[in-house]
Amino acid sequence: MSAFRVCALVPTYDNPETIRRVVEEIRRELPSVFVIDDGSAPPGEEACRSLEVAGLATRIRIDKNRGKGAAVRHGLQVAASAGFTHAFQIDADGQHDLGEIARFVQAARELPDGAIFGAPIYDDSVPTVRRLGREITRFWVDLEVGRGVVGDAMIGFRVYPIAETLALPLRANRMSFDVEVAVLLAWAGVPIVNLPVKIRYLTAAEGGRSHFRPIQDNVRLSWLHSRLCTGAAIRWCLGWLPRTMLPGRS
């Protein structure tokens, strides 16, 4: 692997109240920040543009909203073209403890072929329905990759090794991307380190907002887990076959 170079990727869709603070906090530790504006309305677009004008971030504008997954994948490609080896994906909603950035970067530096995932520590602000949804996802991901391999597959606070991530057969473009990429990294043999990070859900007055669409996104997650569980079952069955029965073996 070439020399370790890490940037921040901040996918955003209509986060005008929080994104500047998030980027300013990131810049305390990482000088290179790519903000991927995934079709934000004028207030969000202007907030992203102002970051670029102030020299705080490189703005990548996607004119039509395509989803968080598509935004992150595009950001990874841009980062790779710019010579970065690692990308720290950080959501723009301001929920994560950004004081942990340096610790995550150091973990990635010590394990450059691995992925560093946040393991959320919630306070009382977490909505019960969100906590329950994450527990359900954890159940399915444990079936797909093994118990405890991925502490939380939905968190938007993680460091990717770029080359290994772009090599994955990723298909999800929206919220389910976070889950899919976590499972596929594990299947690809990429070591995963889970580090705790505090999470606080912001109030509406603080600029907190959720783009999770209960019906559409739950349908996408259900379809994703159906596909991944099928793949996990096939992998398990192949693991039990005698080596002489596998393609290319004699």
| Whole-number pLDDT of residue 211 | 59
In a domain, residue 250? The reply is: no
- Across the range 119-139, mean pLDDT stands at 80
| Whole-number pLDDT of residue 147 | 93
Q: At 156, list the tokens.
A: 């938007």
The DSSP code sequence of 114-178 is SEEEEEEEE-TTS-HHHHHHHHHHHHHHHHHH-TTSSS-SS-SEEEEEHHHHHTS-----STTHH
In a domain, residue 159? The reply is: yes
Q: What is the pLDDT of residues 15-45, one digit of tens each?
A: 999 999 999 999 999 999 999 999 999 999 9
**Based on the structure, what is the number of domains in the chain?**
1
Please check the confidence at residue 201 and state whether its pLDDT lies above 50.
Answer: yes
In a domain, residue 71? The reply is: yes
Supply the range of the domain harboring residue 42.
6-245
In a domain, residue 1? The reply is: no
| Whole-number pLDDT of residue 208 | 60
**140-149, 166-175, 225-234 — which is least confidently predicted?**
225-234
In a domain, residue 47? The reply is: yes
Q: What is the pLDDT of residues 183-199, one digit of tens each?
A: 999 999 999 999 999 99
Identify the CATH number of the domain in which residue 112 sits.
3.90.550.10
